[in-house]
Amino acid sequence: MCEDRIVAALDVRGVRAAEWDQLEEKATVVYKPKKISEERIQQLVADAGHDTDLYTATDEVYNGLADCCLYRSGCQGCSDREKHLEHDQDDDRR
């Protein structure tokens, strides 16, 4: 699931909490600026396949996302919870 992937990507030293708001399609991150920068946080999210204000995910990583997590070119993203649950276990194999 997109939320799990993003939150897992932010499970690093310096990040105290990360929460994904599916309706707003954005993450709220509580972090220690002396330990990790906002730029590094955004790079971690992009490395997981999700574009940010500062970084674009590589096509290779982005194209590896489940179909319901694709958001470029007008795709809805993970708006359908049922579709999302269908691929949830596929992420465990990656």
Output the pLDDT for position 47. 98
Evaluate if residue 93 carries a pLDDT over 50: no
What DSSP assignment string belongs to 3-52? HHHHHHHT-STTEEEEEEETTTTEEEEEE-TTT--HHHHHHHHHHTT---
DSSP letter for 72, please: S
3-state SS, residue 54 = coil
Report helix, strand or coil for 1. Answer: coil
User: pLDDT tens, 74-91?
Assistant: 655 555 544 444 454 444
CATH number of 2-92: 3.30.70.100
26-67 pLDDT tens trace: 899 999 999 999 999 999 999 999 999 999 999 999 999 998
User: Band of the pLDDT at 25, cuts 50, 70, 90?
Assistant: confident
pLDDT at 4: 92
Domain coordinates in residue numbering, the chain? 2-92
Angle between helices 2-9 and 81-92 (to 10 degrees): 50
